[in-house]
Amino acid sequence: MRHSSRRSGLPAPIPSLAEVQQDPTILAGLPVPAIVDLRRQVSHLAADLDAAFCQAMTQAQAGAQDHRADAEPDRLLTPDSAALRFGVTKRWLLDHADEIPGARRLSRKIVRFSERRLARFLDRTPV
């Protein structure tokens, strides 16, 4: 006659998460400490998966940014070339230079515009 683990004083063996996934009815016969241990394992696994997911997303975004940077190098444009490229007036660019991201004042009278950042700004801002 086999003795159950409760009678022998030994703790019941805890099934693996894979075993529980294959046969969820296993949970019905488990003692509370075993269920608590499985729940702890699931929580740790969820945290590990979240960390791996965040790292993978960060690497994917960095790779996408690197790819875009390699494909289209950013250029600094003069007000004349920026106005011609984006269909705005030179006067408008100079009047709004302090509001435009990527605008660089090289001196009191010399301004250059980041082509990439100016394009994003004009896409979002009505002219």
Over residues 71-86, the pLDDT tens digits come to 678 899 999 999 999 9
Over residues 90-122, the pLDDT tens digits come to 999 999 999 999 899 998 889 999 999 999 998
Q: Which two tokens stand for residue 46?
A: 């969820």
To the question of pTM greater than 0.75 for the whole model, the response is no
Mean pLDDT, rounded, for 58-80:
78
The string of DSSP codes covering 51-94 is HHHHHHHHHHHHHHHHHHHHHS---EE-HHHHHHHHT--HHHHH
Between residues 79 and 69, which one has the greater pLDDT? 79
State how far the Cα of 114 lies from the Cα of 1, in Å rounded to an integer. Answer: 83
H or E element at residue 117: helix 115-124
Give CA 111 to chain center in angstroms. Answer: 34
How big is the chain, counted in residues?
127
> CB under 8 Å, gap of 24 or more: what pairs does 72-75 form?
72/116, 74/114, 74/115, 74/116, 74/117, 75/114, 75/115
* pLDDT value, residue 67: 63
